[in-house]
Structure 1
Amino acid sequence: MVEFPTDQHWSALRQLRPVADDALAVVSVEVNGVTTALSIGMDNRGWLHLLVPCDAGAPSQTVPDLNCLKVRQRTLDEGSFIELSAPPSHERVFTPFCKEIISAVCEDGREAWPALSATVRAWQSAWKPVRPEMDKTTQVGLFGELVVLRYLLVPAMGPSAVGCWSGPEYERHDFVLDHLHIEVKTTRKSHPEHEISRLDQLHVPTGKDLLLVSIQLEETSAGRETLATQLDAVIDLLRGDSFALDNFMTKMVNVGWSDEMRASGELMRFELRDHGIYPVDESFPRLPESFRPPSGVVSLRYTIDLANLPAIGMEEAIQLVQTTDFI
C-alpha cells in the first residue's frame, strides 16, 4: 500500500489554501519516490481533493456521490481528471480511501474509473451518515465561543489562543489561560439574562481571574451570521499556523461540527444583537462561593441578569488577556 497522502501533506495544504472559490492548492502524489500525474488538493473551504487523470469525454462508469464524498469529472489545463472530494471532518476516512485508489492506479496499473468504482463499493459502509443533527442549544453556545475566539482571543494571543479553548473538553470554563479563565454565555433573549448551569461555574479559580462574556443573538431567517461564517473567519485568522488550524478543526469535529451542515438546512442564522464583557468580582451577581446546597440536592441552576452591570470594552479586554494584573 502506498504511503501518500499523510497527515503532514494535508496540514501543509492548509497553509496554502486559496482564497478564490474555484481554486485549488495542489501537491503532486509520489509513489515509491516517483512523482506521478495524480495530485491531492485543498479548496478555500478546507475540503480535501484527489485528482486522478482520466480519458476526456463521458466517464466510462457512473459513480454516485456518497455521504460526504463527491465524485466529479473535471477538466483542467493539464487535462481531464476524476475529482474526489470530502470535507475536512472526514480526513481520517478520506486518507486511506485515497491511498487505496492511488495504489490501484499507480501500482496495479488499473484504469481510473473501474478502480474508483470498485474502491467506492468496498468503502461504501464507511461513508454512511452517522452524524446526528446539532441541536439549537449547542449551535447557540458554540457560536458564542467562536465569536470570542474571533474578536478577542486570537487578536490578543495569536493562533495559540486555540490551545486555550477548553469548551470542547467540557471543562468548567470555556477558555483557560495561565492567569485568566473566560466563561461565555450566549442567549437568544433580548435581555442579557443567562442561566448558570453548575454551582462552580462562576467560581474564580485560585490565583487567577475570571471574565464572563455575554452575547445576545437574534435568530432570524435573514441573518447574515451562522456557525459556518464564524468558523470560516477563525480559519482565515489561523491560516498561517497549520498546527493551530489542525487543533481548531479537531475541536470543532469533537463538538459535532461537520461540513455537511452547510448544505443540510440545520444551520441557524443570526444577527449579533449585543455583547458585554464583565470581570467576575465581588459585585458580580452570583451565588457566593461559600454556598453549599442542602444535603440531597445534587444540582442547581439559576439565572443572572447583567443589565445594570458595568461592562468593559473590547480593547480593554484584549489588554487584560495580555496581562496578569487586573481587578
Structure 2
Amino acid sequence: MTETPNPALWSTLRANRPRSEGSLVTAPIVIDGSPTPLSVAMDSSGFLHLMIPVQSGPVGPKPADLNGLRLRHSILESGEVLDLSAPPSHERVFTPFCRDIIDAVVVHSREPWAAAAATVRAWQSAWKPMRQHMEKTAQVGLFGELLFLNSIMLPSIGTTSIDEWSGPNQERHDFSGEQIHVEVKTTRKGRSEHEISRLDQLRVPDGRRLLLASIQVEESITGEHSLATQIDSVVEFIRMDAAALDLFMSKLYDLGWAEEMRESGEMLKFNVRAADVYEVDSDFPRIPDDFEQPSGVVSIKYIIDLANIPKLDRDETILAIREAHLG
C-alpha cells in the first residue's frame, strides 16, 4: 500500500519550500512503513515533483509532456532520476497519478521509463487544459486584494487574514471579520473613481464597520509589481503556518491563478499610483440604504468619485483592524 504522496505531505513540503531558485525540499516515498529509493519534492515555485532513480535516460523517445505535466531526465548529486513535475494547481490529479507510477515501479518492479510512459497514456485525458487565461480585469481586481492583504491585513492580524479574505468566496465584501469588513476597489484609471456593481456592496453590515480601499494602478511592461510578486510576499509571511498556506493557495486556484502564469506572458505588471482607505459612513458617496430597486430593474451599477473624501492613513487602518479583533 502506497502511503505517500498525500495532501498532508505536499502541505509539509509547501511550508518548507526553498527560497532559492533551483533548490528542492524532498521527502522519501514510504510504502507499508518502509522508505523506498523514490522521493517527492517541491521547488521554490511550488511545483510538485516525483523523482525516481534510473540508470540512464529513456530507451527510445521520451514519454511526451502533457498539459501541466513534465517528464525530465535529470542528474542530481545523488544520481540520475526520472523527474516528473506538475504545478501546484494540478495537485489533485498529480497525487493519484504518482501513486500509480510508484505502484508500477516499486510494487510491480517495472522499468521506470516504461512505467511512466504507460501511466501517461492511461491518464492523458485527465491532463487536458484545466483553466482558461485569467482576464485582465480579473488580474487587476485580484492584484488589489493581494496588495491590501500584504500591506494592511497581514501586518494587522497575521495569518487570520487568510480566513477573512472572502473575495474568492464571492461574498459581499473582500474581507469579512466579525467587527470590520473591507471592500477593495482597484482601477487602472488615473483618478479615484470606482464602479459599484451591487446595491448592498457599500451597505455597512449591522454592528460592524465598513472600510473601502481604493487602489490605482498603472499597467506597464516595466512595472515593479504583479500577481506573482504579491503572492510571493504573502507566502513568505505565512509559510510557517501550513494550514493558512494551503487555504491561501486553494483560494488562489479557485480564482484562476496557476503557477505557469509566471512564464506564460499573460501575467500583467503594474506600478501602484495610489492606495487609500476610506471609512464608509453617512457622508460617504453611495446609494442610501432605504433605496428600493424599482420593479423590473434587474441590476444597478453606479460610479463613485472619492476626490475630497477624508482618508485613513495606513497606521490608522492597521490600528482599526487590530482593535476590532482585540475587541
- Short-chain TM bin: over 0.9
The answer for the alignment partner of 2:126 in structure 1 is 126
Cα distance, 1:290 vs structure 2: 1.1
What do the CA deviations read for 1:58-77 (whole angstroms, capped 9, x no partner)?
A: 43241222111111111111
Q: Which stretch shifts more, 285-294 or 173-182?
A: 285-294
**Cα distance in 2 for residues equivalent to 1:324 and 1:139:** 30
The answer for the alignment partner of 1:260 in structure 2 is 260
**Cα distance in 2 for residues equivalent to 1:318 and 1:151:** 9
**Cα distance in 2 for residues equivalent to 1:176 and 1:67:** 36
- In the alignment, structure 1 segments of 5+ residues that lack a partner are none
Alignment partner of 2:200: what SS? coil
The answer for the alignment partner of 2:17 in structure 1 is 17
The answer for the alignment partner of 2:202 in structure 1 is 202
What do the CA deviations read for 1:202-248 (whole angstroms, capped 9, x no partner)?
A: 00000000000000000111112111111111111110011001001
**Cα distance in 2 for residues equivalent to 1:294 and 1:78:** 71
Alignment partner of 2:113: what SS? helix
1:130-209 equivalences in 2 (<5 Å): 130-209=130-209
Cα distance, 1:148 vs structure 2: 1.0
The answer for the alignment partner of 2:102 in structure 1 is 102
Cα distance, 1:269 vs structure 2: 1.3
Counterpart AA for 1:86: A
**Residues paired across the two proteins, number:** 325
**Cα distance in 2 for residues equivalent to 1:273 and 1:63:** 48
**Cα distance in 2 for residues equivalent to 1:128 and 1:200:** 39
**Cα distance in 2 for residues equivalent to 1:233 and 1:200:** 32
What do the CA deviations read for 1:99-118 (whole angstroms, capped 9, x no partner)?
A: 01111111000111111111
The answer for the alignment partner of 1:82 in structure 2 is 82
The answer for the alignment partner of 1:311 in structure 2 is 311
**Cα distance in 2 for residues equivalent to 1:95 and 1:284:** 50
Alignment partner of 1:324: what SS? helix
The answer for the alignment partner of 2:92 in structure 1 is 92
The answer for the alignment partner of 1:60 in structure 2 is 59
Alpha-carbon RMSD across the aligned residues, in angstroms, is 1.4
The answer for the alignment partner of 2:245 in structure 1 is 245
Alignment partner of 1:84: what SS? strand
Q: Which stretch shifts more, 259-268 or 90-99?
A: 259-268
Q: Which stretch shifts more, 72-81 or 191-200?
A: 72-81
The answer for the alignment partner of 1:274 in structure 2 is 274
Cα distance, 1:294 vs structure 2: 2.1
Counterpart AA for 1:59: P
Counterpart AA for 2:224: R
**Cα distance in 1 for residues equivalent to 2:48 and 2:324:** 41
The answer for the alignment partner of 1:229 in structure 2 is 229
Q: Is the 8 A contact 1:45 1:232 kept in 2?
A: no
Q: Which stretch shifts more, 206-215 or 251-260?
A: 251-260
- The TM-score with structure 2 as length reference comes to 0.97
The answer for the alignment partner of 2:42 in structure 1 is 42
Q: Which stretch shifts more, 101-110 or 265-274?
A: 265-274
The answer for the alignment partner of 2:297 in structure 1 is 297
What do the CA deviations read for 1:84-137 (whole angstroms, capped 9, x no partner)?
A: 111111000000011011111110001111111111111111111131111111
Task: Work out whether 1:29 is the aligned partner of 2:29.
Answer: yes
**Cα distance in 2 for residues equivalent to 1:97 and 1:293:** 52
Cα distance, 1:190 vs structure 2: 0.4
**Cα distance in 2 for residues equivalent to 1:230 and 1:52:** 34
**Cα distance in 2 for residues equivalent to 1:14 and 1:293:** 48
Cα distance, 1:199 vs structure 2: 0.6
The answer for the alignment partner of 1:323 in structure 2 is 323
**Cα distance in 2 for residues equivalent to 1:102 and 1:72:** 16
Q: Is the 8 A contact 1:6 1:95 kept in 2?
A: yes
Q: Is the 8 A contact 1:101 1:116 kept in 2?
A: yes
